[in-house]
Amino acid sequence: MAIAVYPGSFDPVTMGHVDVIRRAASIFDTVRVCVMRNPDKTYTFSEAERMAFLKESTRELDNVIVDAHDGLLMDYAVANGAKVVIKGLRTIADFEYEMQMDYFNKRLAPGVETLYLMADNKYSVLSASAIRQLMAFDGELAGLVPPAVLEAVADRHKREEQNQ
Ligand code: ADP
């Protein structure tokens, strides 16, 4: 059984993330998408929402599990029998960051390899933070995030309008 972990904050999940998950799911027996909890970070969407969006967006992929973890990613990988961690690479900035991460992750778990999937051209400048900025100014999100996120953003917007 080849198990891979795909970690992230997924605040919220974008079509770029979904593309990476689909591609990883076609290579590995099981892909564990892991929402990493970071106590120093504040999130736009709750952990429950982020997990629900991921579950809804990967519903047709029956070898994908959505999970959450606080603490070190490598501890999660080892505890779940994963020999591979998946990362998406968009730009040189991602590459530089991942180069550093790899050094520390290898020290923590030498038996776990990180595999980098190049972002699809369509999504190479798409990030969760860009989505959050668009949300703040009520920008169009269709095609950038899965339907579950579109619906949640529309609901939020409606509630905000009612409260004004
Ligand atoms: P973001 O970087 O968008 O805030 P995360 O931190 O949740 O999102 O990213 C989780 C993983 O997904 C990282 O490996 C990141 O490089 C990758 N990723 C993010 N956006 C994309 C994208 N548009 N295409 C491919 N991979 C991506």
Find the CATH number of the domain harbouring 68: 3.40.50.620
Which tens digit of pLDDT belongs to each residue from 145-158?
A: 999 999 999 999 88
Q: Quick one: tokens of 42? A: 């504040």
Ligand 1 touching residue 8 (CB < 6 A)? yes
Pocket test residue of 18, 127, 132, 144 for ligand 1, highest count of atoms within 8 A of CB: 127
Taken in order 35, 41, 45, 49, the sign of the CA dihedral is: positive
> pLDDT confidence of 163, banded at 50, 70, 90?
confident
55 has a pLDDT exceeding 90? yes
Whether the CB of 46 sits within 6 Å of ligand 1: no
Q: What's the domain count of the chain?
A: 1
- 164 has a pLDDT exceeding 80: no
Q: Mean pLDDT throughout 69-91?
A: 97
Query: What would the pLDDT profile of 19-28 be if each residue is shown by its tens digit?
Result: 999 999 999 9
pLDDT, residue 160, reads 85
Q: Give the residue whose CA is nearest to atom 9 of ligand 1.
A: 8
What is the Cα–Cα distance from 164 to 159, expressed in whole angstroms?
A: 9
Residue 20's domain spans which residues? Answer: 3-162
Instruction: Give the model's confidence band at 143: pLDDT under 50 very low, under 70 low, under 90 confident, else very high.
Output: very high
Alpha helix stretches (DSSP H) within 12-125: 15-25, 47-57, 73-79, 92-108
Tokens of 62: 């029956």
Q: Whose CA is nearest to atom 17 of ligand 1?
A: 88
Sheet harboring 30-37: ordered strands across? 64-70, 30-37, 3-8, 84-89, 113-118
- 119 Cβ below 6 A of ligand 1: yes
> Mean pLDDT across the chain, nearest whole number?
97
pLDDT of residue 14 exceeding 80, the answer is yes
pTM here is 0.96
Q: Which of 51, 89, 90, when mutated, tests ligand 1's pocket best, judged by the most ligand atoms within 8 Å of its CB?
A: 90
